[in-house]
A and B are shown apart, each in its own frame.
Chain A
Amino acid sequence: MQIASRRLPTVDNPRKSTTLTVMTGLFTLYCLLPLGWLVVNATKSQADFVSTFGLAPGREFALWDNIAQVFTYQDGIFARWLLNTLLYVVVGATVSTFLAALGGYALAKLDFRGKRTFLLVVLGSISVPGIALAIPQFLLFAHIGLTNTPWAVLIPSFINPFGLYLMWVFTAEAVPSGLLEAAKIDGAGEFRTFLQIALPLLAPAGVTVLLFSFVSIWNNYFLPLIMLKDPAWYPLTVGINQWNKLGSTAGNGALVQNLVITSALLTIVPLIIAFLSLQRYWQSGLSLGAVKG
């Protein structure tokens, strides 16, 4: 290490630039500012929230009180929302990633009738606005009796066209066809070849797709909003907005901004942890999507 740092700057180890760091730092500040506001205001009581300056701490430190209140307000429904969200995210992200891997593998390594059309339709579907789908989806699901059940949120989340695309690209590049042929010559069936040879090789892209699904399901708002009527099945996003609206609708609504803000903070903390701990996978998976274009 010592020797390396004493060496002259090279392409791989250039001199650090303070100017560049400061410029990048300014952008980082822009990214952190709102989050800072959220953290500061999650420590305020409702009375302090309406009466003190936003970026300064309140008169009392109420974070723990707020957290306790978030979990007890309306008979502790927040915990239920958290569990719902976890259910939607874990089941949704796992199934969608597996289906994407299966489909991506088929697109890259197997042949079937209508493959080109299939690809075109799936890729085209990425640009269909969510609202365009939501209304007919809702009517369709209502027809088969799925609305107001967890399935109404889960089934649409199983399909991740972008994930399928990433898996297709990744399989084409990272899974050597020769290896698959060899496995088949050894007598392995197509599905076993996929599970035992291809799937382990697809792990890096798999984690990327998993993370994308994770974030998009965790943050999904519109679909559960129209599909679910029973607050017991709400995910966090819909629940929080429900609490937020309590305060801004005219009438007898309760004003619980401190709970809205604290619950918003609690909602993004798990995501941030997932980000930090799995960040190298984002990059490895994305690099493939990016290179291929």
Chain B
Amino acid sequence: MFYNESTLKKAGIDEPPATWEAYYEAAKKIHALGDDYYIAQDTGDIFFLLSLIWQAGGRPFKVDGTKVRIDFTDPGTTKAVAFWQKLLDEGLINTKITGWSDDWNRALNDGTLATQTMGGWLTSTLPERAPKSSGDFRVALMPQWQQGAKTGAANGGSSFGIPAAAEHKEAAFTFLEYFAHGGGLSTRVDAGAFVPNLSVLDNEEFQGKANPYFGGQKVGAVLAEASEIVGDGWQYPPFFEWARSIYGDLASPLYTTGKGSLAEVLEQWRQRCIQYGNEQGFEVS
């Protein structure tokens, strides 16, 4: 979790929220600073919601070959969804600003968005999005569901592949090898990219380097720990790219009118996924 220390201080919060309960209290204090102040934004970010579920122990997708089971009613999922629903219902989340938009950059810049619960890769791009907030942001572990627990989740990611029709498969593989594991790594790290390879994360130099944008905090150490505690056993459905694209269609009415609930949206989403998946020849239930 990235947090704007000076905004938190202004709201009278000295420590970054370590539990979601504390996060909720912090959200109320931050919004009390003014109408523009929010602890975070969400306009139907499925990746964030899934991270929350992931961390809470929910495993809504079970994939076995072409068989897919989708279930948003397990205890972990229900807990995470109900928590976020509470924040939305109480108007503690900015539902007008979309992540990665121009508005978002500006809100990070002027400190009205206090935290971002996101992947570690935000370190590399935050300085150019919020140049005015230099020195204000810090990094902490994701808030926990239980005091003292240490469980995390992943958020997004990227992968590299070689198309079947590629002409120079060998060369492409050699390059990817270099890019992902070999000498290319240090080039990327030096250029400011966040590369979650174990060899990089465990590196003492990476962990010990003070980052001036984050007020001299040793950001690497926190990120390394965050990636170690990611809960295991998570799966995505094989048609996730399609599912993700239509999630916004279903969630948008909730975020704009406040009618309905996240649980209902997820159920609709599940129904659409079942229909699509079965049409495409999977066995989805």
A and B contact pairs by CB, cutoff 8 A, 21 listed: A46-B131, A50-B105, A50-B109, A50-B129, A50-B131, A51-B110, A248-B100, A249-B100, A250-B99, A250-B100, A250-B121, A250-B156, A251-B121, A251-B158, A252-B121, A252-B125, A252-B194, A254-B125, A255-B125, A255-B128, A255-B129
Q: Which residues of A contact B47 (CB under 8 A)?
A: 250
CB proximity to B under 8 Å, residues A177-206:
none
B124 at the interface (CB under 8 A from A): yes
CB pair B105 A255 closer than 8 Å: yes
B62 at the interface (CB under 8 A from A): no
Q: Which residues of B contact A257 (CB under 8 A)?
A: 102
CB proximity to B under 8 Å, residues A235-293:
247-255, 257
B272 at the interface (CB under 8 A from A): no
CB proximity to A under 8 Å, residues B96-110:
99-102, 105-106, 109-110
Q: Which residues of A contact B124 (CB under 8 A)?
A: 252
Most buried by B among A46, A50, A247: A50
CB pair B129 A252 closer than 8 Å: no
CB pair B132 A51 closer than 8 Å: yes
CB distance from B231 to the nearest CB of A (A): 21
| Identity of the chain A residue whose Cβ is nearest the Cβ of B100 in the assembled complex | A248
Q: Apart from A250-B100, A254-B128, what 19 extra A-B contacts exist at CB < 8 Å?
A: A46-B128, A47-B131, A47-B132, A50-B102, A50-B130, A51-B106, A51-B109, A51-B131, A248-B101, A249-B100, A250-B118, A251-B121, A252-B121, A252-B124, A252-B125, A255-B125, A255-B128, A255-B129, A257-B102
B13 at the interface (CB under 8 A from A): no
Contact with A along B105-120 (1 / 0, CB 8 A): 1100110000000110
How many chain A residues sit at the interface, stated as a range, is 10 to 19
| Identity of the chain B residue whose Cβ is nearest the Cβ of A45 in the assembled complex | B131
Q: Which residues of A contact B (CB under 8 A)?
A: 46-47, 50-51, 247-255, 257
Most buried by A among B99, B110, B121, B128: B128
CB proximity to A under 8 Å, residues B134-173:
156, 158
CB distance from B106 to the nearest CB of A (A): 6
Q: Which residues of B contact A249 (CB under 8 A)?
A: 100
Q: Which residues of A contact B102 (CB under 8 A)?
A: 50, 257
Q: In the complex, what distance in Å separates the CA atom of A254 from the CA atom of B99?
A: 15
B49 at the interface (CB under 8 A from A): no
B18 at the interface (CB under 8 A from A): no
Q: In the complex, what distance in Å separates the CA atom of A47 from the CA atom of B119?
A: 24
Interface residues in B, total, Cβ within 8 A: 23
B193 at the interface (CB under 8 A from A): yes
Q: Which residues of A contact B130 (CB under 8 A)?
A: 50
Contact with A along B74-108 (1 / 0, CB 8 A): 00000000000000000000000001111001100
CB distance from B58 to the nearest CB of A (A): 22
Q: Which residues of A contact B100 (CB under 8 A)?
A: 247-250
CB distance from A60 to the nearest CB of B (A): 13
Q: Which residues of A contact B128 (CB under 8 A)?
A: 46, 254-255
CB distance from B50 to the nearest CB of A (A): 13
CB distance from B75 to the nearest CB of A (A): 29
CB distance from A141 to the nearest CB of B (A): 14
| Identity of the chain A residue whose Cβ is nearest the Cβ of B107 in the assembled complex | A50
Q: In the complex, what distance in Å separates the CA atom of A249 from the CA atom of B125?
A: 11
Q: In the complex, what distance in Å separates the CA atom of A249 from the CA atom of B122?
A: 11
Pairs A-B, 9 closest by C-beta atoms:
A255-B128, A248-B100, A47-B131, A50-B105, A252-B193, A251-B121, A252-B124, A50-B109, A50-B106
| Identity of the chain A residue whose Cβ is nearest the Cβ of B47 in the assembled complex | A250
CB distance from B255 to the nearest CB of A (A): 18
Q: Which residues of B contact A251 (CB under 8 A)?
A: 119, 121, 125, 156, 158
Q: In the complex, what distance in Å separates the CA atom of A253 from the CA atom of B122?
A: 10
| Identity of the chain B residue whose Cβ is nearest the Cβ of A229 in the assembled complex | B163
Q: Which residues of A contact B193 (CB under 8 A)?
A: 252
Q: Which residues of A contact B119 (CB under 8 A)?
A: 250-251
| Identity of the chain A residue whose Cβ is nearest the Cβ of B155 in the assembled complex | A250
Q: In the complex, what distance in Å separates the CA atom of A248 from the CA atom of B128?
A: 13
Q: In the complex, what distance in Å separates the CA atom of A38 from the CA atom of B163?
A: 39
CB distance from B181 to the nearest CB of A (A): 18
| Identity of the chain B residue whose Cβ is nearest the Cβ of A47 in the assembled complex | B131
